[in-house]
Amino acid sequence: MKETGNSVMEPTDWPPEHSGALRELFALHLSFARIAAAINRKFSTAYTRNAVLGRAKRMGLVGTDRSESQPALNRSGRIHLVEQTSPRFPWPVPPFKGTKPVELRCVEIDPLHLSIAELERGNCRYPYGGDEEGETITFCGHPRRPGSSYCTAHFHLSRGPGTPSERAACTVLLRLVETA
């Protein structure tokens, strides 16, 4: 034990058996004072309620759902620790939290759906389809942006939103292409 000022601090590295007992007793929904008493009885230790609470926090147990059900006690009213026979996770499994579906960005462009054989040098190569097994992949086919494999709309879609003037210019350019 380490002495700091007026108080005595317990070491923070608990033996695995003690941590396993803490995890098991915590799962029985016991108070930290009762967990400390049970561990002290079994291992002849002198853990305090606060030491058990601190260890539970470091193990990630505190903050998980603890319903108000009563623990199973043996006939004498004492808690019986079951020896661990199967491997367990050394940490609690975090609860699954649902995620929002990803909102896809899209452009208001009607692709020409050209096959790879129909693409010419200056055509946009933004792909469509191919999600399902055997589904044909087609390409946008509109005129490419200089220095890119994509038309302006697909260039910005693949690179990010761009500035407001770039987004406005993209729409104007597509209208010019459609009228030509």
Name the pLDDT band for 123 (thresholds 50, 70, 90): very high
Cβ(140)–Cβ(151) below 8 Å: yes
Q: Is the pLDDT of residue 174 over 50?
A: yes
Nearest to 25 by CA among 68, 72, 58: 72
pLDDT 10s digits, 131-159: 778 888 889 899 998 888 888 888 877 76
pLDDT 10s digits, 68-80: 444 555 556 566 5
Q: Is the pLDDT of residue 15 over 60?
A: yes
Confirm whether pTM is higher than 0.75.
no
Cα separation of 56 and 12, whole Å?
11
Cβ(169)–Cβ(152) below 8 Å: yes
Cβ(71)–Cβ(28) below 8 Å: yes
